[in-house]
Structure formats: structure tokens, C-alpha cells
């Protein structure tokens, strides 16, 4: 039995946002995003506390699916920005897109193709994407970097925060701890997906997860 106490990443995030709210200048955040449904509830919260730029870096996703999710991400952000004036304290959301480079994922997944979902292949995928996001955050001079991936009930916040924090430290940028599924975050993402009629995929995005879903 594992007696290691679990960190409360959501509470850590709230403590950081509370400090930021008292600062003279709103901190900037690069938010790695995997899809519009996962982004929805995250952005609803984060835009009240940060100047957010959504960073779409997902070389793990097959090209047709990649383009479909990217289009939905952009549509969601446009909707949220149109409503920005009606939400006190909300800032406009910016976007940035990394070049699509699926070979990076295939190389990271090499030898791990048959691993179960949530296993070594997924950990390598997280490291690839969060490493890329951390580098982009450092290059862009952002105060913080984090990911929407922790909103998924299928992904472990411990893994994502550990990998993300290591990548951020390596690049010299601050990691924003998160567990967006907490406090009904995942439930809220489902509600917002219905509100904006967002496309909700039924698999992670890579060919290996698609094969297991079918």
C-alpha cells in the first residue's frame, strides 16, 4: 500500500492565483491545451487571474483529428473573447500554435506502442508536450506554464504535475500546479461543451489510443 500523501494541486493553484490577484501586474500564463472541451472550464477560471495564451502543441494526435480539435479550440476562444466584456475581471485569451510534428511523438513512443493507457507511452507523451510548452513559455517570457490535461479523470494529476514541474525547472520558468478536475471542474467542462456545442472526442488522440477505443 502506498502511504505517500497526495499533494493538493488545486489548493496550491488557488494560493498562487490569490497572490497574483494582489500584484500590481497580472501574471502571464502559457496554457498547454489538448482540446476545446478540456480547455473550457480551465479557461473560465484562469482568465480571471492571468493573461492567458493557449498553446496548442499536440504532435501525438493524428492529423485529421489534430486539425478538427485545433479548429474547435480556436472557435471556443473566439466565443469566450466575445463574452469577455460581460465577465468582470476576465482578460482576453491569446493563442499560439506549435508546428505539427508527429514524428516527435512516434520517436517518443518507440518501443512503448503496446503499453496500456496511462502507462510508459503516455508518460513519454506528457514529457514531450509539457517539455515543449515549458520551452515555449521560457522563450516567450511567460511567468507561468501549465496544462489542461489535469481536467481529465483518466489522467493522474501527480504524473502531470511532476513531469510539468521538472520541465519548467529545466527551462527556468514557473510551473502552475493544477488539478482542474477538482471542485466539479470536469463536470463544468461537460456543461460548457454543451453550451458551445463543442466536439467531444472519445479517445486521447494518438493512433494507439484510437485502436483501443474501437
Q: What integer pLDDT is reported at residue 1 of this predicted model? A: 35
pLDDT band at 160 (very low <50, low <70, confident <90, very high): very high
User: Which cell is 165 given?
Assistant: 514541474
Q: Residue 5 above 50 pLDDT?
A: no
87 CB neighbour count, 10 Å cutoff = 12
Q: Residue 206 above 90 pLDDT?
A: no
| Cα–Cα distance for residue pair 98/108, rounded to 1 Å | 17
DSSP string, 19-81: HHHHSSSPPEEEEEES-HHHHHHHHHHHTTTSEEEEEE--TTS-HHHHHHHHHHHHHHHHHHH
Rounded to the nearest 10 degrees, what angle do helices 36-46 and 185-195 cross at?
Answer: 110
Amino acid at each position: 500500500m502506498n502511504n505517500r500523501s497526495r499533494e493538493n494541486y488545486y489548493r496550491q493553484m488557488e494560493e498562487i492565483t490569490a497572490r497574483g490577484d494582489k500584484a500590481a501586474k497580472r501574471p502571464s500564463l502559457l496554457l498547454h491545451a489538448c482540446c476545446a472541451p478540456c480547455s473550457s472550464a480551465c479557461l473560465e477560471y484562469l482568465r480571471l487571474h492571468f493573461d492567458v495564451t493557449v498553446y496548442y502543441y499536440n504532435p501525438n494526435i493524428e492529423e485529421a483529428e489534430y486539425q478538427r480539435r485545433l479548429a474547435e479550440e480556436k472557435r471556443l476562444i473566439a466565443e469566450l473573447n466575445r463574452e469577455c466584456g460581460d465577465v468582470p475581471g476576465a482578460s482576453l485569451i491569446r493563442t499560439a500554435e506549435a508546428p505539427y510534428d508527429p514524428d516527435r511523438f512516434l520517436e517518443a513512443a518507440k518501443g512503448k506502442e503496446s503499453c496500456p493507457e496511462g502507462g510508459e507511452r503516455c508518460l513519454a507523451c506528457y514529457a514531450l508536450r509539457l517539455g515543449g510548452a515549458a520551452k515555449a513559455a521560457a522563450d516567450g517570457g511567460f511567468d507561468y506554464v501549465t496544462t489542461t490535461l489535469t481536467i481529465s479523470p483518466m489522467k493522474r494529476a501527480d504524473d502531470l504535475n511532476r513531469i510539468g514541474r521538472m520541465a519548467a525547472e529545466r527551462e527556468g520558468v514557473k510551473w502552475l500546479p493544477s488539478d482542474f478536475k477538482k471542485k466539479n471542474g470536469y463536470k463544468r467542462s461537460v456543461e460548457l461543451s454543451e453550451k458551445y456545442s463543442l466536439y467531444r472526442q472519445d479517445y486521447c488522440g494518438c493512433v494507439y489510443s484510437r485502436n483501443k477505443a474501437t
